[in-house]
Amino acid sequence: MTATMPSRAASATVFPILFAISACHMLNDVMQSMLSSIYPILKADFALDYWQIGMLTLAFQGTASLLQPVIGIYTDARPQPWSLPIASVSTFVGLMGLAFAPSYAALILGAMFVGFGSAIFHPESSRVARIASGGRFGLAQSVFQVGGNFGTAIGPLLAAFIVLPFGRPSVALFGALALIAGIILVRVSRWYGAHLKDRARKVIDKTLPLSRNRTIWAITVLVILVFSKNVYMASLGSYYTFYLIESFGVDTRTAQLMLFLFLGAVAAGTVLGGPVADRWGPMTVIWISILGVLPFTLALPHVGLWGSGVLTVIIGLILASAFSAIVVFAQELLPGRVGMVAGIFFGLSFGMGGIAAAALGLLADHHGIRTVYLICSVLPALGILTIFLPRRAEFLAR
């Protein structure tokens, strides 16, 4: 479907804006990843159970999930360029809460402010990336998304070398990243606002390329695929460090470094997914990414420390490549509704991950961490549902 997209206005791709919004996505997600990166510290400081760890993730990701689709739908009709710097302010407030919270309730509140920042940032920044793409939608989405993945990846690394030695209050140091992101986003917002003025007299065609029922079914399948991907990602993002510590007796820093390797592979996979989707179509990427990772997830609970490191890198590389392709596919199914698509899929990413983290925490408390990975290992089998997605011929037929 999108294999022919790159030829359309490719020379108009605005790379400075793409790189700027990707850099802000990186800074945004570095700050957000502080939460999961400091889980071992919070567990020790506040004597938390696994279910309480899961509730922190739910407070963060659930808040973002509830707000993102609403914000996306609203900004499709009324774009808000200056909401981007406001997102950094909300994340800054959340970080301060995590750094100095005197109680578990205050930690929950800090996590929610970080979630607010995410809910505000993603719909409008995803729109900026598409506007700046010049028709190379897969590439633009990958450049935008890889910033976030890279930020998520280096969060645990920074936590290992800064927060772990200096304690929870050192999380406040990362508030400086919010200020940097805010400054960059002010410049991006000016460009975005000027672009909106130029486009004010243009009519955006929102005609669905397929029938309404076919579109709803396709979006539902994409949501299920995102569900399988993000629940598995949540199992690694929230509990992988605990799994390594309990299963192999490694120290916290080693576990965080191994989490960094996994998240780094996620970033690399995101870079590959968009351009491949532009070249060979998103369907190819979705097939390989979701269903193709199944043999590796099935093997993970049965290997040793070295094997776990290798397999999680492979899993991150393959599984992450799907997201850019899924978002671009959904944007083509719902033309002119970039904010809605970003809100649904970025929101679902956070929300389903948060709900899964809470549920998996309860499961880990009662049956052990290894059981979590045994159950989650079969989730990529849902990738078989890709067979129900519309083919390019269906779009051309209409």
Question: Would the pLDDT of 188 be above 70?
Answer: yes
Q: What is the pLDDT of residue 393?
A: 54
Q: What is the pLDDT of residue 204?
A: 61
For residue 185, what pLDDT band results from cuts at 50, 70 and 90? very high
- Mean pLDDT of the chain, nearest integer: 81
**For residue 356, what are its two tokens?**
């899964």
Judge contact between 100 and 38, C-beta under 8 A: no
Residues 6+ apart with CB under 8 A from 78: none
- Kindly state the average pLDDT of the residues 277-295: 81
pTM tops 0.75, yes or no:
no
Q: What is the pLDDT of residue 7?
A: 39
Question: Would the pLDDT of 311 be above 90?
Answer: yes
Q: What is the pLDDT of residue 296?
A: 93
Rounded to whole angstroms, how far apart are CA atoms 149 and 353?
A: 15
Convert the pLDDT of each residue in 364-379 to its tens digit. 888 888 888 888 889 8
For residue 306, what pLDDT band results from cuts at 50, 70 and 90? very high
The answer for 251, left when phi > 0, alpha when psi is -120 to 50, beta otherwise, is beta
The answer for 249, left when phi > 0, alpha when psi is -120 to 50, beta otherwise, is left
- Structural domains for the chain: 9-397 (1.20.1250.20)
CA dihedral over 15, 19, 25, 29, signed as positive or negative = positive
